[in-house]
Structure formats: C-alpha cells, structure tokens
Amino acid sequence: MFSYIIKRIVSLIPTLLVVSVAVFLITYLMPGGPATAMLGMEATKEELDALNEALGFNRPFLVQYFEWLGKMLKGDWGESLFLQQSVLSAIGQYFLPTLSLALLAELFALVFAIPFGILAAYKRGTTVDLALVTSTLFGIAVPGFLLGMFFMLFFGVKLQWLPVAGYVPLKDGLWNHLRYLILPALSLSTVQAALITRMTRSAVIDVLYLNYIRTARSKGLKERTVLLVHALKNAAPSVLTVVGQSFGTLITGAIVTETLFNIPGIGLLTINAINRRDIYVIQGVVLFVTLLYVGVNLTVDILYGIVDPRIQLGKK
Amino acid sequence: METNNKPLLEMENFHIYFRDRKKRLPAVSGVNMTIHPGEIVGVVGESGSGKSVMSQSILRLREHEADVEYEGSVVFEGQEILKLPLAQMQSIRGNRISVIFQDPLTSLNPVLTVGKQMEEVLILHKKMSRQDARARSTELLRLTGVPYPERCVRQYPYELSGGMQQRVMISMALACEPSLLIADEPTTALDVTIQNQILRLLSELNQKLGMAILLITHDLSVMAQICHSVRVMYLGQIVEEAKTEELFDNPMHPYTQGLLDCIPHLDVDREKPLHVITGTVPPLSQIPVGCHFCTRCPYATEQCRKNEPPAVEISPGHRVKCWNPRMGNEKKREENAI
Amino acid sequence: MTEEKKQAAAKEQSQAILEEQRRLRKEKFLSNPALIIGLVGMVIIVLAALILPAVSSVDPNEMKVLDRLKPPGAEHIFGTDEFGRDLFIRVMHGARVSICVGGAVTIFSSILGTMIGIYASYFKILDNILMRICDGLIAIPGVLLAVALMAALGASIWNVILALTVVYTPSIARVVRAGALVAREQVYVEAAKIQGASDFRILWKIILPSVVSSLTVQASFIFAQAIISEASLSFLGVGIPAPAASWGNILQASKQVLSKAPWTAIFPGAFVIISVLSLNLLGDGLRDFLDPRVKGGRKG
C-alpha cells in the first residue's frame, strides 16, 4: 500500500512541472508584462524599463522561471499589488468561504446523485429511469450562475425563505453560516449532481448484469445487499473518479457563484484581482486551486487501491 | 438409488418466455422433469438449448435481469416455486437450493474476500455470528479440498487458480447443506485435469451429504462420469431422457445420436471424418413448427415438419420425443453390417 | 458472356448490400430520438442566429430611454432591457456570438487536439512529452485557466476563443490518442506498413478515419462546454467586452434588474439551456449512432 502511494505521488511530478510552467507563463505572456500591471497603462517606457531592470523581468525566460519556481517551492508566492499582504495569506483569508461552499455543494450533489443513480440503474428502462435521465440532461445544460439567479429570485425575493446574498462566517453560528450558503451551494451542485447521477447509473448498470451479481442473488441475499454491497462496491471506482473531478469544477464554479451571491471567497478574490490586474494573486489562485484539485484526485486514486485490491497490483 | 420415494423437485409443463420489446420468445417450452433426493440428473444440450435458463429459473434468477414469464409448475419440497413471493424465494436460494456457475472467476465478487463471500450466506440463512461463520467457512473449504483454507478465506478470488475458485464456489454452495445443488457447466472453464477433480468432488459430496445434483453441461463425457440419469435438451424441450447407461447404449433421438457421434473415439479409423450435426441451433425467434429438430434432422419427414411429436416411453424411464425414434439406430446397424 | 453475367450479378448484389446498409442506417437514425432532437434544436438555433440579425432592421445596441424594462409584448416579444434595447434581437445577436465562439473553439481545438493525439499515438517520445503537457493542462480546472488567461490577455472575442481552445485541446487530444492507439494495433495498419506506406500516409489516411467518430462525439460535447464557458466568462466580465450582445453579457446586465425584470434573464437563459441541451443530446445520439455495436432501436 505504501509503495503504491509513493508511486502515485512520483507520477504526479511531471504533471505539476507542466502546471508550474503554465502558471508562470500567465504572467510572462501578459502584454507589457508584470511591470505594466504594477505601474498601470499610463506608465512611460522609461519607467517600465527601469522596473523591468530592477525586478529582473528582462532576463531570459528559463532563468526567471527557475528563480520563480524556487521561490514558490520555498513558500514565497509573492505580494499582492493591492491588498498589502502576501498572496498566500490572502488566499488563506479568502479560502474558507469557498471551501465551505464547495463542500456543501459536494454534499448536496452526492445526497441526490448516488441514490438516484442507483435507482435509475436498478429501474433501467422504466419511466423512473427515463425521468431521472431526462432531468440529468437538463441539470448538465443549465449553467450554475443562471440557476443561481433563479434561486435568488424565487427563494430569496419571492418566497423570502433564505437570504439573497452575502456571507456569515462559521463562528457566528452554524445555521447562520449555512443559511447564506444553501442557495449558492444548490445552484453550484446541480451540474455535478447530474454528472454524478449519470456516472453512478452507468457504473452500476455495467456491473448489475455481471455473473457475480447473479451469484449474490443465488445465495438468497436481499436486493438491498446485492445493490449496496456487491454492485456499489464494484461501481465505486468510477463514481469516485467523477466525485474527485467534480471537486475541481466546484471550486472553479465557485468563482462565478461567489461573484453572483457576493461571498468573499477565492472567486471574489480572483475577480477583484483581475479587475485590478493584481497578477500575482491570479497566479497564486490558479496554482493553489490546481494543487488542491490534484491533491483531491490523488486521494481518490489512493482510495481506489483500498476499494479494489486488484488496482494496487496493476492487474486491472 | 431409491426412485420410489417422494420427489425433491417436480417440473410440470414448464414454459419460460423472454419478453423483448413486443416479441415473446419461448426459451423453454413444456419441460417435465423430476429429481429425487440424492439423485444426480444431467441435462445436456448445445448452447441456446435453454438448459441454463431452465436451471437458473428453478431459483428464478433470470427475472432480475430480463422480462421473464413462466407457465406450468415447479414444485420443490412441496412448495410451488413459481408463485412464491420474492422474500420466500430468497430464503430458498443459497439455503435449500444452491447454484455453481460456469466461470468461477467472474462468478465471484472481485472486491470481496473469499471469507466475506462465504460468511454472508451463513450469517443470512443460519443466523451465525461472524466468528462462527468464519470457522464454518474454513471447514467447508477444507471439505472441498482447498489447501490452507485459513489463508484462502483472507484472499481475493483473483489470487486463486481456476480450480481453487471453483472449489470456493462449491464450498459456498454447500454452506447451508442444500438438498439440491444446481451445477451450471461447472467444469467448462477449467483444464481437463481440474475438470475431473471437480467432477469427482461433486460425486463424493453427493454420496457423503446425500444432496441431489442437477448437472448442466454440453459435454456428454462429463455426464457419463457421474450422472445417474440424463435429459437431452434441444431448443427449449427435452427430446430424450433415460438412465445414463441406457442413453449411451441405446440412443433413440437423432439429436442424441448426433451428439454421441460427435465424441471422437480413438479406436475408430482416423481417416473417417469426425461426425458433425449439420446447421446451427436456430434463434428463439425462428423455432420451426412441428418437431423443433426438423431443420437439422437427417431423417425428417413431412410429418416432422408439420406436427410436434409426443414424448413416448420406449422402455421404463426411457422417453423420447420423436416421430421415428429408431431410425438412426437402424441406419447405423446397416452401415456397420456393410 | 457468362463472365459479363457474373459481373452484373455481383454488381447487383453489391448494390443490394449498399441499399440494405442505407436502410439500416436510416432505421438506426430514426430510432435515435436524442440525435434527432439534438440535431433539430441545433439547426433551429444556428438558422435563427444566422438569419434573424441579418434581416432585422432593429439595432441591437439602440437605446430607447422611454422603452426601459418593457415586459414581453407585441412590440418587443422578449421585452426590453434596462437601456430600452430590444431583447429579442439582442438574444439573436448573442446566439451568433455564442455559436461563433463555440464553433471556433470546437474547430480549433479539434484540429490541434487531433494533430497532438495522432502524433502522440504514433511516436513514443512525442507521446511522453505531449501527454505530460496535456495532463498538466487538464490538471488546471478549465474555467479557472480560462479566467486567468483572459486576465492576462485582456477581454476580446479572439482572446475568448484562444483561451477556451487552450482549455479544451488537451481533452480532444486524449480522446484522439486513445482511439488512435487502438487503431494502430489493427491488422490493416500493419499491412499498410509492410506495403511501405509512409508514416504520414498511415497517420492521416488510415488512422485518422478510425478516430473520426469518437472525435465527432467529443467535439459536440466541447461545443456545449464552450458555450457555457463563454457565457460564464462574459458573466464574470472577462469575456466578450460589454456593449456587444452575447448571452453571458445579457445575463450579466440582467443581474442588476432581476427582481424587476426577470424576462431579461429568462430568454437568454433559455437559449443557453436549449443550445447546450441540444448539443449534449447530439453528442449522446452520435455516440450511439456511430457505435457499430449499438443496433437500431436498442440502446446498450
């Protein structure tokens, strides 16, 4: 098991190197480069040249890249040009609301998707299945922000059940905290719920007609045991994959949702940074979210090895 | 073997239909079969003959996977199985009747240990504790000749050889000491040497535990080794049934004769081509009128193509569903005489 | 004589086979509701986007202060926005932008992705390099990468296309490579090699056709994704610059007046949903239609 985990981590190194180059390129390729971002569009050519010289932006690409990479690895992600704090501390400050939102959305997605996916697979070909599959088609087609707008309008303005926008931190009470997150989380989770439902359905269908399921039934096991123990455990790897992938989409989806619902999370941080051309913050956010995403998928990979013992041996 | 005691399983005019969209396909049409306690009954036929569907339908396993309809009756230990509610059916499955399938690797759950898969039967039907179930599983594995059963229960199916996997399947099937074991092509996926070991094991268990076995196979030589009596199936019908020796010595139905001729013999002339039954089993949607075998039978007459033959008892316990049963035999005798 | 007759018979037979194939394909098409609905939906939207803005004399950017936030009615069938602009014509112009951006992204990423995927499948060293790059790009969540690229490049329609092409090319490359890897193991590729076909010929004449069907399916999903992404970017204010009508822009503007004038969100929203739904159905339908294992009328 241990060597399996190590192998997984080592195999990520090239991916992360590519990510780092891509993230570095974002600043490097910016028209006018970082100096323009710092000084603004009105800066004269002399001022720009002076700053480029001072900060070393006119050195060769590789030199700059490796210097940057070294700094990043040491935990120096640069200073925000506007927030009077380091990029990492800004991310730390804005991350909690996003994490809360993403986790709640993931929870909503799973609570709907797993049971409905299993149900659709079990009732395959019936009206129940057709209804569920059709709703997932709609779920996938509706952008989160659009749904968010209608939730705002309906539950917030018309029915006034939940606050329209804003955010209350966890320390002001769990319910208060959640109350503000329910609508954004719901709108964020719909697409993922639909995707996970579809994946669960097809993964369960893939195993439901296999010989060992027939064996399980031939032993007299209840349908519930057949489905939840014998089928689901085999379908779990494919379901886990989408769940892992969905987490990345949720965090980025949060950027749009947070802007809509005015939640002070990573998304708002990013949008503000874009409007102010606060390039190091943008860079930092992309890197941070990507690392998080890669970390989640690594965890999923490791979970595979636990769920399906064949994977560790590379037999599957 | 006693034959005058009460039958364990009685099938009467058993029909099984698959519904596919608007069509209704007969997989099994009017099978009569009786199995007595302790008897080993063989069912032989090509793939598509309906033998697997019939055997699995005793436990009504197919209705979970397809739209199935039954007609007729199947009585097991005095209970009409076809009308039982699912919960009661489940209390028979794995408990009073067990099944072992063709391909042991795919028939065992790949992500659960052997122990876990065996224990769940014991915990379910025998209300055993997990420890007792584990101890009993080990014991059962030892009974079926698995070396190191203590290690085996902790292993996953893919870590075992094919023969061992089938022994695990058999141990699992024996867990609740069923009165009937359905063995659906239990040796087809195995090497010949392992095949013989498994067959010997089944035969031993039959003698030791007095458990009846319904053995499904397409291989007549497997039948000959352990079965007391044999049913030959073709396109959903039993075309001939007899005691094993009687069937091999005196096959009446052209199909049975054809199957027997397909077995290569070392003593005959090698230059002579191996006999084959011409044609293939027609699909269920194209079952011929009259005798089901008429499209492939070398002796088919006008009558065969028009009317379905009745099952006739030729000698005690030997029934054949054919208009001209002796035809093949006579022809053969002629050939041999020349 | 007899030779001629034989040839005629053979010709007739092949004709019959072709006809039978055509009939089967037609049957398979007609028994595939997803494909038909998706196709019809897309055709309607594309036609509307092409024709309506061209024949209409209404200027999508013309502001009429007196007509502010008019609900849907005879004069303005979708109503007007907060500047008194006619929403119907704006949504149609938006359709043009969304279809163009989505289409361009799909075409560019398909071309790039196909080249990467095919070469990667064929040359081992290239495979390692290209696929690591793709893995790296896929590891960065798509919308985030697009947002960051837009931040660096600045808001413009071409930059949206560029950014989204960067985001979606790797997934096309993956699909093409997977298909090409299967194809190159086939006997006919081996046969072509033995006959001395050049690498170029093998790649583009023999392997490419065998990946076209999975590419088409993936492309229709990418098209749908690109439409959603474009709308999201514009909604965030980093996509198509403001006065131009795109579905994302119209929705962003409607955010401010949502409770007073919900129609400003409903119509562009409905168009986003219908077009994405149609494209997804088209993809699902194509997958079944192009899969030789799926027979007419039955779904796997």
Say whether pLDDT at A316 is over 80.
no
Task: Count CA atoms closer than 13 A to A150's CA, side-chain side.
Answer: 16
**Contact: A217, B93; criterion CB under 8 Å:** yes
Span C73-83, pLDDT tens digits: 767 777 777 77
Q: Which residues in chain A touch residue C223, judged by CB atoms under 8 angstroms apart?
A: none
B135 touches chain A (CB under 8 A): no
- What is the pLDDT, as a whole number, of residue C176? 92
> Measured between alpha carbons, how far is C8 from B333 in angstroms, rounded to an integer?
50
Burial letters C107-141, b for 16+ CB under 10 A, else e: ebbbebbbbbbbbbbbeeeebeebbebbbbbbbbb
- For chain A, which chains pass the contact test of at least 3 CB pairs under 8 Å? B, C
Tell me the pLDDT tens digit for each residue of A77-104. 888 877 788 888 889 889 999 998 999 9
pLDDT above 60 for A8: yes
**pLDDT score, position B335:** 57
Distance from CA of B34 to the nearest CA of A (A): 21
CA distance B265 to chain A (A): 35
pLDDT at A32: 64
Q: What is the mean pLDDT of chain A?
A: 84
Report helix, strand or coil for C292. coil
Interchain CB distance below 8 Å, C135 and A290 = no
Q: Of all residues in chain C, what percent carry a pLDDT higher than 70?
A: 93
**Per-residue confidence (pLDDT) for residue B179, from 0 to 100:** 93
Chain A within 8 Å of B61 (Cβ-Cβ)? yes
**Confidence category of residue C267, pLDDT binned at 50, 70, 90:** confident
A26 and C237: CB-CB below 8 Å? Answer: no
B110, B124, B169 member nearest A310 (Cβ): B110
Cross-strand pairs, B15: B71
| pLDDT tens for each residue of C13-55 | 888 888 888 888 888 888 888 889 999 999 998 888 888 777 7
Tokens, residue B334:
């002629």
CA distances from A179 to A108, A166, A174, B240 (A): 14, 10, 8, 74
Question: What is residue B330's predicted lDDT score, i.e. its pLDDT?
Answer: 60
pLDDT of res. B2:
45
Tally of CA atoms within 13 A in the half-sphere of C165 that contains its CB: 19
Q: Could you tell me which chain C residue has the CA closest to the CA of A258? A: C236
CB contact under 8 A, A15 and C132: yes
**Is pLDDT above 70 for B331?**
no
Q: Taking residues B80-84, report their average pLDDT.
A: 91
Instruction: Tell me how far apart the alpha carbons of residues B278 and B333 are, in angstroms, rounded to a whole number.
Output: 21
Q: Is C295 helix (H, G, I), strand (E, B) or coil?
A: coil
Residue C283: name the closest of A112, A140, A252 by CA.
A140
Shortest distance between the Cα of C265 and any Cα of chain A, in A, equals 8
Q: State the chains in contact with C (3 or more Cβ–Cβ pairs under 8 Å).
A: A
Distance from CA of C203 to the nearest CA of A (A): 27
Q: For chain C, percent helix, then strand, then coil, each to nearest 5?
A: 75, 0, 20
Position B150 scores a pLDDT of 92
Token output for C207? 């392997």
User: What is the predicted pLDDT for the residue at A41?
Assistant: 64
ipTM: 0.86
Kindly list the distances between the CA atom of residue A200 and the CA atoms of A217, A311, B111, B289, in Å, as whole numbers in the listed order: 21, 20, 18, 45
Which residue among C139, C142, C265 sits closest to A149, beta carbon to beta carbon? Answer: C265
Q: What is the pLDDT of residues B263-298, one digit of tens each?
A: 776 666 667 666 777 778 888 888 888 888 888 888
pLDDT for residue A58 is more than 60: yes
Query: Does the pLDDT of residue B28 top 70, yes or no?
Result: yes
Contact B172 A219 (CB under 8 A): yes
State residue B3's pLDDT score: 47
Question: pLDDT band at C105, cuts 50/70/90?
Answer: very high
* pLDDT higher than 90, residue B76: yes
Strand, coil or helix: A107: helix
Region of poorest pLDDT, from A33-47, B211-225, C258-272 = A33-47
Mean pLDDT of all residues belonging to chain B:
87
Neighbours of B303 (CB within 10 A): 13
* B113 or C258, greater pLDDT: B113
Q: How many Å separate Cα A156 from the centre of its chain?
A: 26
Which residues in chain C are contacts of A271 at CB distance < 8 A? 236-237
Q: What is the pLDDT of residues A238-263, one digit of tens each?
A: 888 888 888 878 888 888 888 888 88
Check pLDDT > 50 for residue A120. yes
Cα A86 from chain centroid (whole Å): 23
Nearest to C254 by CA among C87, C52, C67, C95: C87
pLDDT of residue B269: 66
- Could B124 and A221 be called an inter-chain contact, meaning their C-beta atoms sit closer than 8 Å? yes
C258 to A152: CB separation less than 8 angstroms, yes or no:
yes
A145:C254 CB<8 A: no
- pLDDT beyond 90 at A214: yes
Q: What is the pLDDT of residue B87?
A: 93
Residues of C in contact with A143 (CB under 8 A): 228, 231-232, 272, 276
Chain B closest CA to A224's CA: distance in Å?
12
Query: pTM of the entire structure?
Result: 0.82
- Positive or negative, the Cα torsion across B282, B283, B289, B292? positive
Q: Is B88 part of the contact surface with chain A (CB cutoff 8 Å)? A: no
Per-residue confidence (pLDDT) for residue C297, from 0 to 100? 42
